[in-house]
Amino acid sequence: MIKLTFTKKLIAAAACVAALAAPAQAADNDKVYRLKMAETWPSNFPIFGDAPRNMAKMAETMSNGRLKITIDSKNKHKAPFGIFDMVRAGQYDMGHSASYYWKGKVPNTLYFTTMPFGMTAPEQYGWFYNGGGMELMEKVYSKYGLMSFPGGNTGNQMGGWFQKEINSLDDLQGLKMRIPGFAGEVLAKLGAKPTNIPAGELYTALERRTIDALEWVGPSLDLRMGFHKIAPYYYTGWHEPATELQFLVNERTWKKLPADLQEILRVAMRTAAYDMYIQSYHMSAENWDLMKKAHPDIQIKSFPADVIGAMKTANTELLKEKAAADPLAKEIITSQAMYMQKSRVWTDISDKAYLNSLSSQ
Amino acid sequence: MIKLTFTKKLIAAAACVAALAAPAQAADNDKVYRLKMAETWPSNFPIFGDAPRNMAKMAETMSNGRLKITIDSKNKHKAPFGIFDMVRAGQYDMGHSASYYWKGKVPNTLYFTTMPFGMTAPEQYGWFYNGGGMELMEKVYSKYGLMSFPGGNTGNQMGGWFQKEINSLDDLQGLKMRIPGFAGEVLAKLGAKPTNIPAGELYTALERRTIDALEWVGPSLDLRMGFHKIAPYYYTGWHEPATELQFLVNERTWKKLPADLQEILRVAMRTAAYDMYIQSYHMSAENWDLMKKAHPDIQIKSFPADVIGAMKTANTELLKEKAAADPLAKEIITSQAMYMQKSRVWTDISDKAYLNSLSSQ
């Protein structure tokens, strides 16, 4: 650093004496890097949309205005599920989305958001940052000229809103449920009928019993959807224990940034991701309190042990198929399973034991 | 930001034309701020000592060397519990320690680390950042010219190593246990004899039964102490559910920093704190695995429900006394209790329900 300062001063002196243009380093200190980011979410989408804005604000302030990131929501770019392609092509420098949205295009992107019966938020951050997760994510994304970073965690997602109780595996037969992705595949193996329905039609579909159940996120984002007004059972989660959103960065953009701005961007993304986890936790607590007060009859339910057991078996079978079909998938699935094994033992004797000891009061 | 850049260029042009000294803003861009930090921990102390180093490294890289923070460990400054005073006096610009160490000097600093039967880590971060905790901490620290920030969380601390089982309240009578602070007061109310013993003498004291039990941190830092070799019972936690360390900053130092470096420092501290939480979680999982493999006979125990109940009652009584004696203490205790009430309901139906549904498999 001393060397840099020295060089800068020398160049600055030379520039003044010779009445030349501004010195190279000084020019760079003034240079404003303007990055364009596309997000999957609509304008003013709470929590998910706050994370990239929190990130951009930190980056701009820390860089004294040298790093300016503008964010286009889906209302503008019209391609909520085109973020991967747009950032890859350089149409946008960055994206804010979720890795599992790209599984149709690049199957191994599936594993970097959350998995049914997978890790909790602190376990998964441990895997990303201390357990090899970031390296595996790089292995998947680097061949597309993309860098992927954690982009904010929703915490444990609720199992969803149900019109009728699930008391046995029989109750899953033919159950029409809006539940996309890998979890939908798990339920399909057990006889349910997973469907996908646009967000704007979900309320009516559940109200008119076009579907029997649906999952969305949790109280943090379910409140505004209004499902608590029309469904009596709110099931606890199994399918998305720690949904981590994603920041995508075009590698060419990254390489153009000076080292200090790269670190500013890296740290701003990392902090915004953690901050969203805490904000989601907070808003879930606040919004569940509001729901429960307005509708005291809502019943919190957990699936019976044999239903959970069957879901878990189906999930394990699906993972085995994925691992057998692709060596990199196998490497990721094994890494996650090994990490979770150790960290879950710790979770069970720390937070879980603590919470259970208090519940027995 | 546009205005700033414009001003800089104008000044720069004027400086060159008039062959004056380097322009004010450009000079500021070159100015290196050297801050001195004192930490409570000895040299090379793992995890706790990593947090300030991680923070300093991020700050230096993000600022392109304009913010340089050097760290003195207790081996150098010899005053592990003098950090508050040294930072207040300006002898150091910053400190890394824990707020509850200052309770003898400023009683209301007690509440910003962790409390028996208090919040878990995500609940407590929610309180700090979204529930008014930072504002209350400022209320306590600002009158001493100090700013306090979260400095890294250990996660749930274990209840400690015991030579004999605790099966009833009778077993607490006369129990000699190394357990400092507020938790020690709780146990004293139930007939135990809390003692404090220097770290270097703990192993021998427990081995020779000079004490019957002790608590330290958890597997992350207990492994190197070796207690698992000499005590058969490892109790789950109740007294420090989410111990948050602390960054202290002298307010005069803070005010001297330009706005971009203030934000760099704020974000670096915030990220380093979150990162330490994840690192602690990771190391607890790793080290418990090592302990358990080397000593498979270690038994994990939880205190019986009536013992937990009595501890909780004693804790509530002590908190009531504190609240009655000081209006600001009352404000903090009430804020924490209200926040925990809502957030614990959420924790119970999210992470706890998820973990319990899997344990029943």
The model's pLDDT over B234-265, given as tens digits with 9 standing for 90+, comes to 999 999 999 999 999 999 999 999 999 999 99
Please give the mean pLDDT across all residues of chain B: 92
Residue of A nearest to B62 (CA): A260
Candidate from A17, A22, A62 with C-beta closest to B12: A22
Q: Is A63 close to B260, i.e. CB distance below 8 A?
A: yes
Residue B299 annotated as binding? no
Q: What is the pLDDT of residues B97-120, one digit of tens each?
A: 999 999 999 999 999 999 999 999
How confident is residue B28, by pLDDT bands cut at 50, 70 and 90?
A: low
B238/A350 Cβ within 8 A: no
What ranges do the domains of chain B cover?
32-153+242-282, 160-239+296-325
Q: Reading across the β-sheet that carries B213-214, which strands appear in turn? A: B193-195, B176-178, B213-214, B160-162, B233-235, B299-301
Q: How confident is the model at residue B16 (pLDDT cuts 50, 70, 90)?
A: very low
Q: Give Cβ neighbours of residue A346 (< 8 Å, ≥ 6 apart).
A: B219, B281, B284, B285, B288
Distance from CA of A350 to the nearest CA of B (A): 6
**pTM of the predicted protein model:** 0.92
Neighbouring residues of A201: CB distance < 8 A, sequence distance ≥ 6: none
Report the length, in residues, of chain B: 361
Who contacts B39 (Cβ-Cβ below 8 Å, separation ≥6)? B45, B48, B49, B52, B71, B72, B73, B74, B83, B95, B96, B97
d(CA B325, CA B332): 13
Name every chain A residue with its beta carbon within 8 A of the beta carbon of B29: 26, 29
Cα–Cα distance for residue pair A183/A215, rounded to 1 Å: 10
Who among A238, A351, A357 is closest to B238 (CB)? A357
Give residue B359's pLDDT band: very low, low, confident or very high (50, 70, 90). confident
Residues whose CB is less than 8 angstroms from the CB of residue B61 and which lie 6 or more positions away in sequence, other chains included: A259, A260, A263
Q: What are phi and psi of B53, to 5 degrees?
A: -70, -40
Is residue B199's pLDDT more than 60? yes
How far is Cα A237 from Cα A239, in angstroms, rounded to an integer? 6
- CATH number, span A33-155+244-282: 3.40.190.170
Residues from chain A that touch B288, judged by Cβ atoms under 8 A, are: 345-346, 349
Q: What is the CA radius of gyration of chain A?
A: 23
Residue appearing with tokens 């680097």: A142
DSSP state of A350: I
Q: Cβ(A198)–Cβ(A215) under 8 Å?
A: no
Q: Is the backbone of residue B78 left (phi > 0), alpha (psi -120 to 50) or beta?
A: left
Which chain B residues touch A9 with a CB distance below 8 Å?
22, 30
Q: Judge whether B109 and B231 are in contact, CB under 8 Å.
A: no
CA dist B239 → A40, B182, B278, B298, B347 (Å): 43, 9, 20, 21, 18
Answer whether B286 sits within 8 Å of A342, measured CB to CB.
yes
Tokens of B17: 């034309």
Q: Check B236 against A354: CB less than 8 A apart.
A: yes
Q: Quick one: A19 exposed, middle or buried, by C-beta within 10 A (0-12, 13-18, 19+)?
A: exposed
pLDDT tens for each residue of chain A, 361 residues long? 223 333 344 344 434 333 333 334 444 678 999 999 999 999 999 999 999 999 999 999 999 999 999 999 999 999 999 999 999 999 999 999 999 999 999 999 999 999 999 999 999 999 999 999 999 999 999 999 999 999 999 999 999 999 999 999 999 999 999 998 899 999 999 999 999 888 999 999 999 999 999 999 999 999 999 999 999 999 999 999 999 999 999 999 999 999 999 999 999 999 999 999 999 999 999 999 999 999 999 999 999 999 999 999 999 999 999 999 999 999 999 999 999 999 999 999 999 999 999 986 5
- Indicate the fold that domain B32-153+242-282 takes in CATH: D-Maltodextrin-Binding Protein; domain 2 (3.40.190)
Are the beta carbons of B350 and A158 separated by less than 8 Å? yes
**Confidence label for B30 from pLDDT (cuts 50, 70 and 90):** confident
Residue B192 has pLDDT above 80, yes or no: yes
The residue written with tokens 């009683």 in the block is B107
**Count of pairs with CB atoms under 8 A, one residue in A, one in B:** 259
Please classify residue B263 by burial: count the beta carbons closer than 10 Å to its beta carbon, then call 0-12 exposed, 13-18 middle and 19+ buried.
buried
- Residue A168: φ, ψ to 5°: -160, 175
Looking at CATH, the fold of the domain delimited by B160-239+296-325 is given as D-Maltodextrin-Binding Protein; domain 2 (3.40.190)
Scanning A174-213 for CB atoms below 8 A from B yields: none
Q: Where are the alpha helices (DSSP H) in B95-244?
A: 121-130, 133-141, 181-189, 202-207, 219-222
Place of tokens 């339910």: A301
- B263, A61: Cβ pair inside 8 Å? yes
Instruction: Give Cα separations from A357 to A77, B93, B170, B234, B305 (angstroms).
Output: 50, 42, 19, 15, 7
Binding site members of A = 157, 178, 215-216, 240
Binding residues of A for Na(+): 216
CATH of A157-239+296-318, one of 2.10.60.10, 1.10.12.10, 3.40.50.150, 3.40.190.10: 3.40.190.10
Quick check: B126 and A65 CB within 8 A?
Answer: no
Q: Are B342 and A286 within 8 A, CB to CB?
A: yes
Q: Are B213 and B161 a contacting pair, CB within 8 Å?
A: yes
What residues does B36 pair with on adjacent strands?
B70
pLDDT at B29: 74
Q: Does A243 touch chain B (CB under 8 A)?
A: no
Q: Which residues of B touch A289 (CB under 8 A)?
A: 342, 345
Question: Are the beta carbons of B350 and A284 closer than 8 angstroms?
Answer: yes
Would you say A272 and B129 are in contact if contact means Cβ atoms under 8 Å apart? no
CA distance A352 to chain B (A): 6
Question: What pLDDT is recorded for position A13?
Answer: 40
Asked if the C-beta of A310 comes within 8 angstroms of chain B's C-beta atoms, the answer is no
- How confident is the model at residue A16, as a pLDDT? 39
By C-alpha distance, the chain A residue nearest B235 is A349
| Residue matched to tokens 């400190």 | B95
Lookup result for tokens 């400095």 = B151
Query: Which of A1, A345, A351 lies at the smallest CB-CB distance from B120?
Result: A351
Nearest CB neighbour to B354, from listed A236, A292, A356: A236
The confidence score (pLDDT) of residue A158 equals 97
B215 annotated as ligand-binding:
yes
Q: B-chain residues within 8 Å CB-CB of A344?
A: 358
Helix, strand or coil for residue A193?
strand
Report CB contact under 8 Å: B355, A349: no
Cα(B343)–Cα(B336) distance, integer angstroms: 10
* Sign of the dihedral through C-alpha B253, B257, B263, B264: negative
